[in-house]
A and B are shown apart, each in its own frame.
Chain A
């Protein structure tokens, strides 16, 4: 028999050949997007992208959501998994596996996008004979990959602050990246987004699921709105300007608020950038599967959520509940609480019936159809990472914070949102005097709860760690207490400090 050791995989494609064929480009791009939705090459689990943690836990969206929500007044979870409880207790350490998984996911996306960006440079495309329409498309892909890299770097900036910095200039291998500062990283992301702005497809003109100019503008808005937190230097003019670009791009508010979170939300003209899921074709134990199953428990009827059973995990605190004057949902449509058999007070974090449940995410369409997974495991519901309502509120906030813009428009936008939400639109309207920054923060909670914004918002309003604003079990005590300010950044995982001695831990953390 043939006894040569030079063999190559039978079904995999060796990298130096994969880019010769333009047909491979879109599946590679699809992976860059799928990195936010699924956990590996086999759904719902199997052949994972990253290791060292339960695969369902390793899901990007799931961990991003948990980091942004479980640490706040909006969400508590009843599970006993590892150090999960530390997120709400706010006593996480550098050994926290969930924060590590999120960090690993972020940098996995950075690596994956770097690889694609490197391999689709104009030089490389030219050397592979990619020309004409293919070349144009490849350049769009290239710009989208850079957008996705910027998106993940923004997560890194927001969550971890001072992180290792790797770009497409670095080859894949074993090297020790230098640590960047929050300011430098901020500038890099902004610069990147501005560079690719022209190459991205015009707003609302790309295929559903892919990023366009408006996605980049929304991200720039977020960066500028939080610039003071990130760099110490306020950039509210820029925030308002980019928000305005999005507002003018032709998106419209979804008529029924609840439809934004249903199985057919891909039809919504409010969503600017979504992470897409599908009951049979884009499946994971994280992502929307988690967001639809985990809040269902107690006496809730799983079939109303289009699933085979609840996971009895996620509820909310009374601090959040109290943001609504009427929690029944009959005045403000956004108050989607489930209270039957649930206690408002949380005496025990680990009892599902302690804390009101939230009915927001469902695997049912706006017309009542159940999603495509006949087994009832995986929803069709997409995750609206950026949607117009968020941009409205960011515009209002930027202007309120002194950014140059139109005060009247700010009020109008907020009232548009409330008009949609209130059963009688007139009930919800507020005056310019009522439109304070604190009102906007609360309005963001009412409008955007459980959409992975809360932690960033609370930090921007200096309410995340302080004892001036507490919620049940903040700081691991029932009535809530303030925690040290350094918690506004998560610690770099101990694993990366070991792997890369160039890194210094964020201030405040012992190691």
Chain B
């Protein structure tokens, strides 16, 4: 027979302060404070949990050294339960709907007046695993029990009208009408909210309620589903202010991540990515398409995105572009072994191809408008080159994980195997990965160790993406193969002298006569030790030692008879690279509550050192027999080394649970700068006011949460290309750039340009935000306004001619302003035992403007040409100019005839000098969207669930480089070969290329359905032993846009990235044992 928790509460509520020998009564706050002192552990709980609640603390446990034993003994009788998330104990009501303490007597009476029956059953999670420790309470009473190790329970309830409330930390609470049932099997869904109670911030965790900065946490349940092969795709479209644009459809390829648009022009705009406390370099790894691709997305537990300076300032000089903290999954303490196996199988298809003329149409056009010489080149075929180079591609992704606790050792071990074919023929990405997490505690829970190891071996076959460019322009009237022996049997354009070097190569020959593949072994490991001082448990010392290493090698082999191979032998070009990133972090953390919940201090101070080394040896270019072709290299490796050293501190002070102050400072040193400029101070201040905790709102049930945040901070940036930009130095030239004196060739020594005064780029960020929750948090969300001013912008600018040892140099110059507005709303539309429906919506408005670009201010400065296009050599279409957004297009204003048809070569004479010259170009539109939208919704009905993610960009413009480069009949005017044209030529009838016409700048606003998932969770199978879930998923299902090109989502704004984002259909199976 179970004890009723209500017995305890009744006593407390009636004011009996029992002081017998068995236990002492304390408020929750007092009790936890004691425990915190005693065990040095950190607690988190919602204020309403603590209200009026008194706990019995059995004195028999005074000497108990295991915190879990004490906690259970104290909390469980009070209907409370706890969960350990990232070293914080979250206390929550086991039965939130339990009776208010004000009416226990009546409840008890009514319970007594009825006949009781016993209900038994089993509580499982979504995967069918039995959930131990779930609190089961009779609604309206405090009568309850908890499930055993297998998830089974048994409870005596009134015969009529009984409603059982099932609750468990981290899961959504469910109410079930008992009715006539005597057996109740219940599945609890995970509750993302609850896990967010504690937020991982830099160097530690914070209660969500205490967060003063703009931070968004995304946990596993909210991740994007389907064929996600690289980590960042897990949160695509999920976080306001974060734009993740995949870099095309190649297997394993990465994404461009921008948090609030980035803050730099020439320096990196990539956010800092921290994996289990180890900041990783986001620079490319040779032989891998994407530096993050070595992490198996299945191993990731959560993402925390730190957006404003008050949140990121703890990372000081690397925080200007935001921080993404990735936490991997760990074994759960006290849980027996759980086995999880997932397998996913996908087919990727090419949704659409570039609209070029087919063979018949092209023949007709050339026959009508071409010269005799051109007509003579026409062939008789109808070859669809794009169709020939693409395929439907199969991918399999399998993950096996074992987790639990072996004796004292919580562990999680995972194995992953991904084999992904790309839709472009021959492309392939394979990844084998292993992950190990161990999180034991020692010294009576005073010492917690966290050991992480992630290893991956990736093998990539990089199909020659040039084949796509070739396929769209290659003459569709020509055959794929020639009849002769030349060029390996592939048709190629020939001139008097063999292959016509100016002509495109046969697309299929580019795929099959060139083998470019790379292999990378990479591992990231860290050991984090967290020690609570025995004499002062409020004080913790944390040591984190980590390393991230990669070892790549690869080669490109070109067939001897491949047309562009001029050597006449099979050639091999090898590369290799070793990268190393070593981290040493140490910090002290002190947490103390003063008074009873009146104020709280959480202080952190630490030191960090990190070193990045990269070394790539030099290889000779050889034939496959090992003979060097061309000049033997000097075999001096490419080497880079950067060190960062930092001291940091953070003080969080919470007053009356309502007023929260955070001050952060980081003092950063970088080996990139000279001794005089090496160190920078990056401070931040923030204040949050939890308005909902104020008396005037506290009793307003409609408002469950309301928090105002304001923050200010300065962050830095040092991630520019060169490692020693301040240092006068000489570099040795390669043997291919020697100079001849007499009969001897001398390798050269070059004096490098430098700026002794180069220093940190600084971004000042102001942020004001509001977090809200209404109607018992059925509606939650946040609003943020931000303003970023980057000064001393590290920019590569033209130095005054003759003054330095190059014409352009990285120096601190210029300013840029970014402002924007973010909103995120999550809404639980329906929530009952059968049907739940959640809707999430986020939107971001961003506006960026360059405010200065030169050392000496000059409003007339024409700016810097950027944005190289395809067509001609060195042609650019964009500009950095003061007063405009970065990457604004620099074009001629097209003049149209009465029918709206562009008049070839006729542009507006904008400066009115009577001639059309480059001075008539103007700045027009920009590639970055002014407005980004993310929408996701999940619907679950019984065992079925359906979810989708949509994403939209608005007011983003793209230069349709495919149209401009295939947009004129000039395409087939080159001597000796014909190039196809886009169908657009039939509209414009352009004879000559009009690369710089604003006609090609198109509004590329779009709405894309990224993801649609349907899932079904089976009842437990095989005697309750096996949980099973199947999913069907489609990615990139549709795009709504007016853009004429292949895909409107082009990060650079210059659309010649042709590798189509595939449409992927996936079937998945998830098995739990």
Contact = CB atoms under 8 A, between A and B. Distances in A.
Interface in A1-50: 1, 3-16, 18, 24, 26-28, 30-31, 33-34, 37-38, 40-44, 46-47, 49-50
Contacts of B992: 350
B496 A511 contact: no
Contact of B804 (A83, A174, A376): A174
A108 B741 contact: no
B875 A280 contact: no
B742 A208 contact: yes
Nearest to A175: B803
A173 to B, nearest CB: 6
A222 B28 CA distance: 96
Given A8-B727, A10-B641, A175-B800, A30 B873 contact: no
Contacts, number: 338
Nearest to B630: A280
Given A11-B636, A115-B751, A174-B799, A281 B645 contact: no
A172 B749 contact: no
Contact of B639 (A10, A174, A208, A298): A10
A501 B858 contact: yes
B748 A27 contact: yes
Interface stretch (B244-252, B651-659, B805-813): B805-813
A38 B645 CA distance: 39
Nearest to A274: B740
A366 interface: no
Nearest to B803: A175
A81 interface: yes
Given A27-B746, A312-B974, A501-B858, A170 B730 contact: no
A376 B629 CA distance: 12
A304 B592 CA distance: 86
B735, B741, B970 pick with most chain A CB within 10 angstroms: B741
Interface in B734-767: 734-757
Contact of A309 (B499, B641, B731, B752): B499
Nearest to B973: A351
A426 B941 CA distance: 104
Interface in B478-527: 495-502
Given A172-B754, A494-B861, A3 B731 contact: no
Contacts of A507: none
B837 interface: no
Contacts of B496: 299-302
Interface string B621-636: 0000000011100001
B824 to A, nearest CB: 40
A266 B745 CA distance: 14
A13 B749 CA distance: 9
A199 interface: no
Given A164-B802, A207-B742, A12 B731 contact: yes
A80 B973 contact: no
A406 interface: no
A284 B737 CA distance: 8
B675, B740, B915 pick with most chain A CB within 10 angstroms: B740
B808 to A, nearest CB: 4
A95 B1027 CA distance: 68
A308 B566 contact: yes
B670 interface: yes
Interface residues of B, number: 103
B796, B805, B864 pick with most chain A CB within 10 angstroms: B805
A16 B723 CA distance: 18
Interface in A327-378: 350-353, 373-377
B749 A374 contact: no
Interface stretch (A52-60, A429-437, A452-460): A52-60
A16 B728 contact: yes
A403 interface: no
B732 interface: yes
B803 A31 contact: no
Contacts of A353: 975
Interface in A172-207: 172-177, 207
B872 interface: yes
Contacts of A18: 730, 749
B1067 to A, nearest CB: 47
A115 B729 CA distance: 12
A110 B802 contact: yes
A499 B855 contact: yes
Contacts of B797: 499
Given A10-B641, A282-B738, A173 B756 contact: yes
B497 A172 contact: no
Contacts of B641: 7, 10
B742 A31 contact: no
Interface in B638-654: 639, 641, 643, 645
Nearest to A167: B802
A95 B741 contact: no
Interface in A46-78: 46-47, 49-54, 56-57
A91 B736 contact: no
Interface in A224-257: none
B630 A374 contact: yes
Contact of B872 (A82, A297, A494, A501): A82
Given A56-B873, A111-B805, A9 B737 contact: no
24 contacts: A5-B670, A9-B729, A11-B636, A13-B732, A27-B732, A30-B738, A30-B748, A51-B808, A52-B798, A56-B873, A94-B862, A97-B874, A170-B803, A174-B755, A207-B744, A266-B740, A280-B630, A281-B631, A284-B737, A303-B498, A374-B629, A495-B862, A501-B856, A510-B919
Given A41-B733, A47-B731, A312-B975, 11 more contacts: A6-B675, A30-B738, A31-B733, A40-B733, A50-B807, A53-B874, A97-B865, A97-B874, A166-B801, A375-B567, A496-B801
Interface of B: 495-502, 566-568, 582, 584, 609, 611, 629-631, 636-637, 639, 641, 643, 645, 669-671, 675, 678, 723-724, 727-757, 796-808, 811, 854-856, 858, 860-862, 864-865, 868, 871-876, 915, 917-919, 970, 973-975, 992-993, 995
